[in-house]
Amino acid sequence: MKPADEVKVSLVTAVCILGIAIIFKNVLNVQADFIILNSPIYLFIVYIIARGRTNKSKCDRPLYWSLAIIFITLFTIALYAI
């Protein structure tokens, strides 16, 4: 049985949130705001809303959304690391 696209993107989002929390607490020793810690969730919410409103297109693949969530996560970590 193949998992649904929403499940794939939500698992990537969950891993990114855990990664941000672990890196901020144990590696960077930074107390980040609630909004910053949950930044991948906001893009996931946009994915859920946009998925229901648009027709199928090349940009509507879960791989692209997962990569965008990973990029946002790495960008957020980089902002605090600098």
DSSP per-residue codes, 31-65: ---HHHHTHHHHHHHHHHHHHHHS---GGG-HHHH
Confidence of residue 4 (pLDDT cuts 50, 70, 90): confident
Residue type, 8: K
Write the pLDDT tens digit of every residue in 44-62. 999 888 876 666 666 778 8
H-helix or E-strand spanning residue 80: helix 62-81
Give the confidence band of 6 by pLDDT, cuts at 50, 70, 90: confident
Mean pLDDT over 32-36 rounds to 85
pLDDT score at 54: 60
What is the mean pLDDT of the segment spanning 20-37? 89
What's the whole-model pTM score? Answer: 0.85
Q: What is the tally of structural domains in the chain?
A: 1
Parent domain of 24: 5-81
